[in-house]
Amino acid sequence: MEIKSILLNSVLALTLFSANNRADDSGFVEDGKVYSIVNLHADYGKTRLYSFNYQVDRVIPYCTEFTIDDIGSKRIDLIFEGEDWYFYWDKYTRKAGQSLEENFKQFFSKSCESVKKKIKTLSAIDQEGIKKGDALIGMSKEGVLIAMGRPPIHVNKNLDAKIWLYWRNKWVKDSITFDDKGIVKTLSK
């Protein structure tokens, strides 16, 4: 019985150690430094980011450093340029089955080196759109994802789809249509 208890405690300790190390490797820990891996769109005068990924005018460029201050059940508190910021997990993303952590990791990572390398391989039009934080005719899906972030998952479950929808606010949405090769063919704004 004692050996079983020792083995069980050892397995439990190893599991907890592994889980903690995974969290540390991802950057998804309080006081952890994370970097935006896409351009973030934030309200001017407000320090809010949404898992819904509204396409508002203020663009915070990819590879911007943030510190995770607190991880709550429905939002993540961040520090950026000495200010408190909030990443909100909206009801639509929750209902689509994506956890706060899964969604957060589509916008942030412990490093942005892979994004920098990826951008160097993209076309000039992709790089221009990324710099502007917007989709342009001729961009690839990869370029649009970095320029604008992932479209809301509740209506864009499959990124292989030919049409992606983004919202600018609760009432106005934009669509991006891709050709068979995944290149932006039309924009409806």
| Residue-by-residue pLDDT tens, the chain, 189 positions | 444 443 333 333 333 333 333 344 556 788 789 999 999 998 877 898 988 999 988 999 999 999 999 999 999 999 999 999 999 988 888 899 999 999 999 999 999 999 999 999 999 999 999 999 999 999 999 999 999 999 999 999 999 999 999 999 889 999 999 999 999 999 998
**What's the pLDDT at 5?**
40
Residue 4: per-residue pLDDT: 42
Of 9, 62, 10, 11, residue with least CA distance to 39: 62
The whole-model pTM stands at 0.82
DSSP per-residue letters across 18-38: HHHHHHHHHT-STT-EEEESS
- Whether 23 is covered by a domain: the verdict is no
Are 66 and 85 in contact by the 8 Å Cβ rule? The answer is yes
State CA 184 to chain mean position distance: 21
Which domain does 49 fall in, by range? 33-188
28 located within any domain: no
CA–CA separation, 16 and 37 (whole Å): 28
Q: Is 14 exposed, middle or buried (0-12, 13-18, 19+ CB in 10 A)?
A: exposed
**How many secondary structure helices (H) and strands (E) does the chain include?**
6, 11
Cα angle 175-178-183, degrees, rounded to a multiple of 5 = 125
Cα atoms in the Cβ-side hemisphere of radius 13 Å centred on 173:
14
pLDDT at position 15, please?
Answer: 33
Contact call for residues 40 and 87 (beta carbons, < 8 A): no
| 1 within some domain | no
Indicate the number of domains in the chain. 1
Residue 6 lies in a domain: no
**Does residue 26 belong to any structural domain of this protein?**
no
d(CA 118, CA 33): 21
User: Nearest to residue 52, comparing CAs of 86, 109, 91?
Assistant: 91
Are 84 and 47 in contact, with CB atoms under 8 Å apart? yes
Residue 84 token pair: 């408190």
165 belongs to a structural domain: yes
Q: What is the pLDDT of residue 8?
A: 36
Q: Considering the domain boundaries, does residue 54 fall inside one? A: yes
Torsion region of 133: left, alpha or beta (phi above 0 gives left; psi -120 to 50 gives alpha): left
CA distance 16 to 27: 17
